[in-house]
Structure 1
Amino acid sequence: MTITITQQAFWDLFTEVAETEKKCGGHNPILDECWNIFDTIYHFPKELGQGFCGEIELRDDLYLEISEYQLYDDLILKLPERQHPLEYSFYLAGYHQDKHFSAGNGQNRLWGSGLAPTDKFKSFKSEKIIELNVHMEPELFQLFIGKEKKQLPEELTHLVRQPHQEYYSRSGTTTPAMQVVLQQILNCPYQGIMKRMYLESKVLELMVLLIEEDVAARQGKNDMFALKHDDVERIHYAKEILLRNLDNPPSLIELARQVGLNDCTLKRGFRLVFGTTVFGYLHHHRLEQARKLLATGETSISQAARSVGFTSRSYFATAFRKKFGINPKEFLIANSRSYIELNELIG
């Protein structure tokens, strides 16, 4: 069954979470960790599914939202013709589709400002949906060009169009550099004014990475190495093999053999599809898994390192600090303290 609803009717169904409910926790994995960064948290409409959406205004004309929810049925939002700000979304779980693109875990989309045409946006009930979204008004974006300049550089003019001009949009694959910034946002270590400064710097950093990629693509600097559809499927299969064997991955040549590609095609194709090398992708996910293990408070640093394939604790500590900005011991202590404080609040 598919539910169809207008965008305005959908928004009207959201209700704000009470302060007492926020303090109890236990909602869901993402917002449990980062609910305190938001100005407001909303219940996802109970008529359509279950979950939450958090929102914070970082400054005038700059908003960050994080949503986590699961639908009871497939959902189609009917979008009217409307004025649109600059916007980008990162899809951390779930699957979406409109007239022009489909996106799931590990993908993103960038929109410029201008006129958004009528559209239908479909989300699917098959799994939990997690999305990070940032809105920026074009006037704020234009402030970055400096007072002495009156116009945006030519390579950026497509991102700020006139109200009567249809907006620009582009989808892409989330790179490891972007994934690092996403995790830093979800694990914001600050409160008060420093929280807002930190989060603003991170959402701008994400925009820089997206625009850098967009400009390179429009200027034809992307790798023009051609991949067949079958090659892309084999490369995704190679990724699955890596993720199943973080502690003891196959060599590049063995991985290529297992998926039926030569090692040159696998290397070049993997970078084209995922924006990083095979080793870079493996390294990123090893550290992500280790972070999740340490966050439970039930695993020692040595155990976490060994379980994802790091034989040297010192190398693991260096890599962890470089990626997350904190060493494993400090991370473990901070999570233990948060767990104690949460129990005291509940108790």
Structure 2
Amino acid sequence: MMDKKRRNTESSKTANSNNQNKCTLHTVTELINTQEHCGILTKKFQFLPEYGDGYIEYNHFDGLHIAIFDVSLNKDFDIHGTYAINALELSYLIDGEQIIKINGKDYDLIYESQESYLVYVSQTSGSIKYHKNKYFKEIKIRMSLDFIKKHKLDSEYGIREKYELEKQDKEFTKPLGTKTQEILAELLTDTRQGLLKRLFLESKVLELLSIQLDIQKNSKTEISNTDNLIKKLYEVQFIISSDLTNQYSVHELTRMVGLNDFILKKEFKRVFGTTIFEYALNLRMSKAKKLLQHGKKPIYEISELVGYKNSTHFTAAFKKLEGITPKKYRQKGLETIR
């Protein structure tokens, strides 16, 4: 069965390779896992080695379609097609770049790292171009007409008319802000299953949508300066918050986003009102407090989860910030519950 599927994939791939990489994502990926639990249909596709290293994961339920793209591409792709999906599309490009061409428009829509967009897609013809040798990471959410009606999005916001894709101009994207970054990190690291996953995903989609609609209404809600420096600062913020197990040095962060040490430290403090060290420390201790209050993990394990390989160093840092040791903090929480 797998051989047959692979042969079909290969034949599609060959046909498309003769057409200057004009293809669909299904011709360059292979289904590796599918499951359905409590109404959530989950599918995971792995990129064929000759096209890239990474995966696409889809979760679908009750009019919600949530896709996560995480891949490093080996070839340029120019995906053409006509899309008739009648859905509200909310996208977050954590890393990478897309060139979006809508038939009938005399200019391209440029979608870059650390940006988002909200559009309504009915029937659209065009293409999306992806560049090789670039890491690409995106969370894309589609909401069906039933979902839109359920939450009165059309009657309250005129979603279908106001956000129609064909009406978007060159400034159709918005930068990723602090709260958005935190929610995206939660989505990427979530391990829930079944009903809990459904509830979690729907609540986070509604939270993201609320933030996005607020941004569209008032550009000052998050940041309005979309220059390259600001994007890089938010990228640093996301790198730190999405993996607290790793304590990045300033020098490592500068290499990852292409800034020098002085500019990064100075501008991060200016934009976020805190140093990189203080920002990371507060995130670590906030997560540690939640784990101490609501879980039973041993303190040495919690220390590793928040980036401390040595639990003694974790205890010292925690006490310096909170005034008591992690052990006493946990005991105090238990006494409060009683």
Query: 2:31 aligns to what?
Result: 16
User: C-alpha deviations, 1:219-257, integer Å up to 9, x for none?
Assistant: x88888x89x7xx6499589879985399xxxxxxxxxx
In the alignment, is the contact (CA less than 8 A) between 2:319 and 2:325 conserved in 1? Answer: no
Shift of 1:161: 2.9
Q: Distance in 1 between matches of 2:263 and 2:71?
A: 34
Aligned partner of 2:250 among 245, 261, 264: 245
Q: CA deviation at 1:312?
A: 2.6
- Asked if 1:90 is matched to 2:92, the reply is yes
- The 1:310–1:197 alpha-carbon spacing in structure 2 relative to 1, beyond 3 Å, is same
TM-score by length of 2: 0.60
Please report how far the alpha carbon of residue 178 of structure 1 lies from its aligned counterpart in structure 2 after TM superposition: 0.8
Matched, 1:299 2:309: yes
- CA deviation after TM superposition for structure 1 residue 86, in Å: 0.7
In 2, Cα distance between the equivalents of 1:285 and 1:317?
19
1:41 aligns with 2:44: yes
CA distance in 2, matches of 1:57, 1:238: 29
Change (3 A) 1:222 1:16: closer
After superposition, where does 1:72-83 map in structure 2 within 5 Å? 72-80=74-82, 82-83=84-85
Query: Is the 8 Å Cα contact of residues 188 and 199 (structure 1) preserved in structure 2?
Result: no
- CA deviations on 1:137-162 (whole Å, 9 max, x unpaired) are 1331132129xxxx623xx21x3139
Quote the Cα distance in structure 1 between the aligned partners of 2:324 and 2:26. 45
SS of 1:85 mapped into structure 2? strand
Q: Tell me, what secondary structure is at the counterpart of 1:208?
A: helix
Q: Give 1:144's match in structure 2, choosing from 142, 146, 151.
A: 151
Work out whether residues 80 and 128 of structure 2, in 8 Å CA contact, stay in contact via their aligned partners in 1.
yes
Query: Structure 2 residue aligned with 1:279, among 257, 274, 282?
Result: 274
Q: SS at the partner of 1:204?
A: helix
1: CA distance, partners of 2:214 / 2:22:
34
Match of 2:176 among 152, 174, 179: 174
Q: Is the 8 A contact 2:116 2:174 kept in 1?
A: yes
Q: Distance in 2 between matches of 1:176 and 1:221?
A: 11
CA apart distance, 1:68:
1.2
Query: Equivalent of 1:312, from 320, 323, 336?
Result: 320
CA RMSD in angstroms, aligned pairs only = 4.9
Specify the code of the residue in structure 2 equivalent to 1:161.
E
Identity of aligned residues (%): 14
Cα distance change, pair 259–56 in 1 and its aligned pair in 2 (3 A): closer
Q: Is the 8 A contact 2:99 2:110 kept in 1?
A: yes
Q: Deviations over 1:52-88 (max 9, x none)?
A: 11111132x2111112111112222223364441111
Whole-angstrom CA distance in 2 between matches of 1:43 and 1:113: 26
How many angstroms does 1:281 deviate by? 7.1
User: 1:109 matched to which residue of 2?
Assistant: 117
Amino acid at match of 1:160: R
CA drift at 1:17: 0.5
Task: Please state whether the residue corresponding to 1:80 is helix, strand or coil.
Answer: strand
Return the offset for 1:49.
Answer: 1.6
Q: Residues 282 and 92 of structure 1: is their aligned pair in 2 closer, same or farther, counting only changes over 3 Å?
A: farther
Q: How many Å apart are 1:114 and its aligned residue?
A: 3.2
**Is the contact made by 2:82 and 2:123 (CA closer than 8 Å) also made in structure 1?**
no
One-letter code of the match for 1:216? N
**Contact 1:114/1:163 (<8 A) preserved:** no
Q: Distance in 2 between matches of 1:54 and 1:174?
A: 22
2:127 counterpart SS class:
strand
Separation of aligned partners in 2, 1:316 and 1:45: 52
Report SS of the residue matched to 1:112.
strand
Q: Does structure 1 conserve the Cα–Cα contact (< 8 Å) formed by 2:88 and 2:142?
A: yes
Task: List alignment gaps of at least 5 residues for structure 2.
Answer: 1-18, 101-107, 241-247, 253-261, 288-301, 331-338
* Cα distance in 2, alignment partners of residues 121 and 305 from structure 1: 50
Q: Distance in 2 between matches of 1:164 and 1:137?
A: 14
* Larger strand proportion of the pair: 2
Equivalent pair of 1:86/1:137 in contact (CA under 8 Å): yes
- C-alpha distance in 1, partners of 2:98/2:168? 19
> What residue is the counterpart of 2:103 in the other structure?
none
Which residues of structure 1 form unaligned runs of 5+? 23-36, 248-257, 272-276, 319-325, 327-347
- Counterparts of 2:77 and 2:197, CA distance in 1: 34
Q: Match for 1:15: what amino acid?
A: E
For 1:190, what is the secondary structure of its paired residue?
coil
Moved more, 137-146 or 63-72: 137-146
How many positions carry a matched residue from both structures?
Answer: 267
Deviation, structure 1 residue 288: 6.4
